[in-house]
Structure 1
Amino acid sequence: MDVARVKLILKNCDCVTIDVDSTICCDETVDELAKFWGKEDAIVPITTLAMEGHLDFRTALEKRMEVLDISSQKLKVFIAEKKIQYTPNVKKFIKFLQNRCIAVYLITGGFHETVDNIAIDLNIPLENVFANRIIFDETGRYLGVDETELTLKDNVKAEVIKGLKCRFNYKSVVHIGDGMNDAKVCPVADAFVGYGGVVIRQKVKELAGWFVTDFQQLIDEMMK
């Protein structure tokens, strides 16, 4: 799909789905948890392999969570102390969509425990958030990730978008993200916009119908 076609679809879409880590936010949540506890060197290479499509998401998540040795207490401290760092103009873009009554959804391999706070800050209903959920025992020890969450699957974003189109009869959905799991959403999504404002992944750039590095570019195009 050429750039002109993607831009036309974006201008006329009634739904936008957006990745969170390294797209809405400047960080990868699991990597930031690793930095917080001094385990970055062991975690970041696994994240990179997953985001470039060399390792399936579920395996990458399990490997990283094993290294983190997370607990509910540690996670609460992280959430309390870690400030959300938004990518340039993304809050402006989401507000722009909302003002035009375009539905906005967050689809991420991150965790509800952190993503829900972002959604609240952006005035996105929590029912519009698709993410993983961590399970702890009564002592706060990490047990795993909720198996019922769709976002454990490698092709989840396309599945979520398919479900949204069936449920709400959206005429055209545009997905925006930075990773290979984002780039695989078409043809279920009507268009894919690759985002490289945090990190440029060459394979994603090649697969994207349109590749941008600032959300202002999307606003400018939609205002024409």
Structure 2
Amino acid sequence: MAGPTSARISLRHPLSVPQSYSVRSSQGSQLVLRGANPLFCVKLSKARAVVAAAMEVSKASLGLANRQPSKDVLETWRNADAVCFDVDSTVCLDEGIDELADFCGAGQAVAEWTAKAMTGTVPFEEALSARISLIKPSLSQVEDCLEKRPPRISPGIADLIKKLKANNIEVFLVSGGFRQMIKPVAFELGIPTENIRANQLLFGTSGESAGFDPTEPTSRSGGKAVAVQQIRQV
């Protein structure tokens, strides 16, 4: 069976691809495209043809002219049966857990742990546990946060997902964030809630914080890759 194909692409504008890039083939099964400012990453598994996409939206890049994607990139997306998007700083402009922390008055301390988790300074599960201990969000706080600070969808994402669905390509949201924060995003984009792979906040009988579900793959380091692998096997 053919190995996975991956592409790393520099974007000067969200959801667009510059024409200048180099291609390197590894063992005949991997395609790597590199640019000066890598903002977007896709992976195509020919076993089930799943594309996993992660993008950091640069505010400085939003005003630049759009460019047509290369033929290779278009083929990668068109041959996929499913696309898995990261959520924070990808589908959404913000980091959901940092937004919730700020709303609950623990923004700075939690942001420091988020930075550690993103740079790999500490295991993700340790950082996740520490952040939830600092925030201790109640159910009502989560609901109030979503009402007063609704997630901001990244420019172009809604159109991209609409086009993927029109081509019968299934869309998944895979995140180290929380389902409660991601469900409104999925609803707005027309993505079924069963296509969310993320962590689950737990609450007591009175709505008080009871931590998170440690059995979710995304609650651990490398969990997103595990979640995508599980999607491939469906």
> TM-score, normalised to structure 1's length?
0.70
Distance 1:74 1:23 in 2: 24
**How far has the Cα of 1:26 moved from its partner?**
0.7
1:154 alignment partner, one of 192, 198, 221: 221
Q: Is 1:42 the counterpart of 2:91 in the alignment?
A: no
Which has more radius of gyration? Answer: 2
Q: 1:95 to 1:54 in 2, by over 3 A?
A: same
**How far has the Cα of 1:7 moved from its partner?**
5.2
Distance 2:151 2:100 in 1: 13
Is residue 133–residue 211 contact of structure 2 (8 Å, CA) maintained in 1? no
1:2 alignment partner, one of 13, 32, 57: 32
1:101 alignment partner, one of 143, 148, 168: 168
1:113 alignment partner, one of 180, 185, 189: 180
Distance 1:88 1:57 in 2: 28
**Which amino acid is the alignment partner of residue 167 of structure 2?**
R
Structure 2 match to 1:136: 203
Give structure 1 stretches of 5+ with no counterpart.
168-224
**Which amino acid is the alignment partner of residue 52 of structure 1?**
T
Structure 1 match to 2:86: 19
Distance 1:115 1:17 in 2: 14
1:90-148 per-position Cα deviation (integer Å, ceiling 9, x unaligned): 11111111111111100001111111111111111111111111111112221111133
Structure 2 match to 1:77: 144
1:15-44 per-position Cα deviation (integer Å, ceiling 9, x unaligned): 110011110001111110122133221111
Between 1:105-114 and 1:73-82, the stretch displaced more is: 73-82
**Which amino acid is the alignment partner of residue 204 of structure 2?**
D
Distance 2:112 2:217 in 1: 25
Distance 1:6 1:92 in 2: 17
Structure 1 match to 2:12: none
Counterpart secondary structure, 2:91: coil
Distance 1:101 1:55 in 2: 39
Large movers: runs of 4+ above 4 Å: 4-7
Structure 2 match to 1:62: 129
Between 1:115-124 and 1:156-165, the stretch displaced more is: 156-165
Higher helix share: 1
Give structure 2 stretches of 5+ with no counterpart.
1-30, 34-69
Q: Give aligned-pair identity as a percent.
A: 33
Query: In the comparison of the two structures, how many residue pairs are matched?
Result: 167
Distance 1:77 1:84 in 2: 12
Distance 1:37 1:128 in 2: 28
